[in-house]
Amino acid sequence: MRDPGTASRDLLEAAGNGGAWLTSIVERIVFLRDRGLYQSGDARIVSSTATSVNLSAEQPSVVLKNCVDGAGVMMRYRATGKPVPVVTTSGGTRHTMSVRLVYATAKGGAKMWFLVEEKSVGSC
């Protein structure tokens, strides 16, 4: 998100992104790149709880419930670096996200955890 012009699907997959999550993040990167925008700052996970763990399945998976604080994230114009004016998010900057991770084989043959789904499930 910091440099949408250099992002690639291969790099995202190598970093452990896959499934529906990968598709949505590629769409977001294209949106930012096409409009001359980028994201600065960082979101941070305030708390995390495992809500489901299945390590004995053929494809092991874990579902986490994370409270994410996005107060440090800002959308900016690439040309000027100035912030994009946006309407304040209702409910504040903290949101509860349900994320699903699966343990799978990467392109290079190594096994790793992939983030495959992320859903907003309210505020925290």
Q: Would you state the structure tokens that stand for residue 113, as one six-digit string?
A: 């955890």
pLDDT of res. 91: 57
Here the CATH number for the domain that contains residue 76 is 3.10.450
Q: Quickly state the pLDDT bin for 87 (edges 50, 70, 90).
A: low
What single letter denotes the amino acid at residue 40?
S
Domain of 103 in residue numbering reads as 4-123
How many independent structural domains does the chain possess? 1
Q: What pTM did the predictor assign?
A: 0.79
Q: What is the pLDDT of residue 5?
A: 87
**What pLDDT score was predicted for residue 86?**
74
Instruction: Report the sign of the C-alpha dihedral through residues 66, 59, 113, 33, in that order.
Output: negative
